[in-house]
Structure formats: structure tokens, C-alpha cells
Amino acid sequence: EAGVTQFPSHSVIEKGQTVTLRCDPISGHDNLYWYRRVMGKEIKFLLHFVKESKQDESGMPNNRFLAERTGGTYSTLKVQPAELEDSGVYFCASSPSNYGYTFGSGTRLTVV
Amino acid sequence: AQSVTQPDIHITVSEGASLELRCNYSYGATPYLFWYVQSPGQGLQLLLKYFSGDTLVQGIKGFEAEFKRSQSSFNLRKPSVHWSDAAEYFCAVGYAYSGAGSYQLTFGKGTKLSVIP
């Protein structure tokens, strides 16, 4: 079984540019989550999809962040325009309906 | 709101020594508790989890953790550390808010483990 795939693994962009992160969950997993770890801080929840619907987006920092999940399959997280404080590692995770999360390897975003 | 405290930012142990990583949580109901490990360049890997039942939980790679409700703790232990255990360890509490299997994780700040050969 393939795991949760995230790409790119690293991204370096200039302040003001746009970046799109992608997450491919494990096939058949209805739940998809995004988390973020800013340098020196805790890993924090961003949002949760159930299939293509946003179940909870209370952790999204501001309206520069837009998440979508096309057809209940892969998800994208767009940051537009990127700011310096957006730098960090963005993790995606998926789970079926039996309480098990599987995380991807993360995307390290650096905004310069 | 739930919170997780990992009081040790960095721990160094000798290979073969025992290990205990501390985790305390604050949560109003019965928590779902987790330990994750992140090795350099890797994603977060689940070591073990507690939902209910036996308070001593066995995980992968020889790790175990004990849930102590009276102390709000979920400490991770390993009797003999291997050099490959050097990594960052995260304790997390899960907050279930809707539907079966849907929960949001609150993480501690992590503990970096270094292993001396």
C-alpha cells in the first residue's frame, strides 16, 4: 500500500510569490488533514477534509491560505501571497474511519 | 482547550541505556494519546497510541507507554536504546469532534533524542 505522498519535498520562494503544496492520501481514506510546524514551535492543525468537504478549517492562519480537495482524492494547499512567517514544514495526513492517522514526509517551505 | 507538555527539549543517552520521555497533557475528557517519531528527512511515524483499555501500551521498535490518568501523563519508555533511535519524538492528544475516526491532534513541542555510541 502506498503511503501519503507530498510534493514538493522542499520549496524556496520569495516573499509575495505563490506556492502550491500537494498531498496524495492513501487510496480510500476519506479523512485528510493538513498540519504545519513553524520553526521552534509545535506542530499545529490547519484543516480537515472529509472526502471533498472541509470539516474543520479552524486552524488556517488567514485568508492567504486556500485548501482544496478535488473529488475527494488529492488535496492542494495554496499560499498566496507568501510571507516570511509562512516558512515551516507542512504535513499532510490521511485516515480511514478507524482512528488511524498516516502522515506524509512533509513539505519544507522556505520564504525568503 | 487541550494542551501537551513535553518538558525535555533535548535528551542524550548512551546506546544500551534505558529511556523515558515525559509527556503531560491537559484535556477535559478521556483522551486519545499518541507518540510519533520523526527521523531526519522522514515524516511522522506512529509509535503507539492509546484509546482505551489496558493503560500500558506496546508499540513498534520496542517502545511502550503508560497512561496514568491521575498524573495526566503518557510517558514513553524503551529498556535499551539503539543508535537508530536518535530522532525527534512527539507526544500528541487527539480531540474527537465529529464522526467515527475524525479527530484533531494537539502536539507537544517535541523531544530530540541523541544517542552516544
The alpha-carbon gap from B53 to the nearest alpha carbon of chain A, in Å, equals: 15
Q: Which residues of A are less than 8 Å from B110 in CB distance? A: 42-43
Contact B42 A105 (CB under 8 A): yes
pLDDT of residue B73: 95
Average pLDDT in chain B: 91
Closest residue in chain B to residue A35, using alpha carbons only: B105
- The number of CA neighbours under 13 Å toward the Cβ of A8 is 9
Give the CB-side neighbour count of residue A24, counting CA atoms within 13 A.
Answer: 9
How far is it, in rounded angstroms, from Cα B12 to Cα B43? Answer: 22
Rounded-to-integer distance, Cα B117 and Cα B84, Å: 10
Once rounded to an integer, what is the mean pLDDT over residues A62-85? 95
CA distance A97 to chain B (A): 4
Q: Which residues of A touch B (CB under 8 A)?
A: 3-4, 31, 33, 35, 41-45, 48, 50, 55-56, 59, 91, 93, 95-106
Instruction: Quote the pLDDT of residue B43.
Output: 87
3-class secondary structure for B105-117? EEECCCEEEEEEC
| Residues A1-48: tens digit of each pLDDT | 679 999 999 999 999 999 999 999 999 898 999 999 998 899 999 999
Return the percentage of chain B with pLDDT > 70, whole number.
Answer: 95
Report the DSSP beta bridge partners of residue B70: none
Distance to chain B for A71, nearest Cα, Å? 19
Each residue's pLDDT tens digit, B58-112: 999 999 999 999 999 999 999 999 999 999 999 999 877 655 556 789 999 999 9
